Amino acid sequence: MGRAARARGMNAGMTASSSRPSHRQQARPCVFCGRIVPLTKEHVWPKQLDDVLPGLGPGQHIFGLTDDPESWVLQDRPAFSRAVKFVCAECNNGWMSRLEMAARPIFEPMMPGTRRVTVHPWEQRTLAFWIVKTAMTLQLSHPTRQSDAIPSAHYSELYKKQRPPRLCQVSSLAARTTTGHSICPCPWSGAVGSLR
């Protein structure tokens, strides 16, 4: 490699005013595993939901904490387009991808709400794991402020234990009886098989 080519390669990702890597190229810790590496884009909602819920199109989305209207930001954007860049490639393409593949056959039939879906106990564990991971990713997507509703320690616990954090409870579904009463199962807790 010639001297000019090496210089171009060494300066790739550098800002014009300094020899430090630009913010875009800097390695930061992955919110789940903590490795300091370049981060990848993770979609909050699976892009394939466009196929499950066609015709939603662009709409107005509200981002913020439920009890904090000052945190609310309104945006017009396509459905399922929200993405964050807080996750390393190893997590994104590894356990997170496997989790989504395991959870999709469970949650996709539930999304349209047009038919009855039975969710077995082992599926409830997978669904709870996916729901918590998705809630954590959604928290990271606020466009203007750092949310703190879910403690950072929960992200690493989810990664290390491959299940919802010990202090989380997830009600995975609710149903209406023939009399119109809503029933909701007890929140799920317990060990989840590893998807590593």
At residue 4, the pLDDT reads: 44
Whether 174 is in a domain gets the answer: yes
Q: Which amino acid is at 181?
A: H
The structure tokens listed for 81 are: 């387009």
Whether 194 is in a domain gets the answer: no
At residue 170, the pLDDT reads: 83
At residue 192, the pLDDT reads: 41
Whether 138 is in a domain gets the answer: yes
Residue-level pLDDT, tens digit, the chain, 196 residues: 444 444 433 334 333 433 444 445 567 899 999 999 999 988 888 777 777 777 666 676 777 666 778 877 777 777 777 788 899 999 999 999 999 999 999 888 887 777 778 888 889 899 999 999 998 988 888 766 666 778 889 999 999 999 999 988 887 555 555 655 444 444 444 344 444 4
* CA neighbor of 153 nearest in space, from 2, 31, 4: 31
At residue 57, the pLDDT reads: 67
At residue 162, the pLDDT reads: 95
* C-alpha 22 chain-centroid distance: 26
Contacts of 103 (CB under 8 A, 6+ apart): 126, 127, 129, 130
CB burial of 113-130 (b: ≥16 within 10 Å; e: otherwise) equals eeeebebeeebbbbbbbb
Instruction: Please count the structural domains in the chain.
Output: 1
Can you give the pTM of this predicted structure?
Answer: 0.69
| Angle, helix 95-107 to helix 121-139, in steps of 10 degrees | 120
At residue 112, the pLDDT reads: 75
Whether 172 is in a domain gets the answer: yes
Whether 11 is in a domain gets the answer: no
**Range of the structural domain that residue 62 is part of:** 26-183
Residue 153, SS3 per DSSP = helix
Structure-derived torsion over alpha carbons of residues 33, 34, 40, 44, reported in degrees to the nearest 10: 60
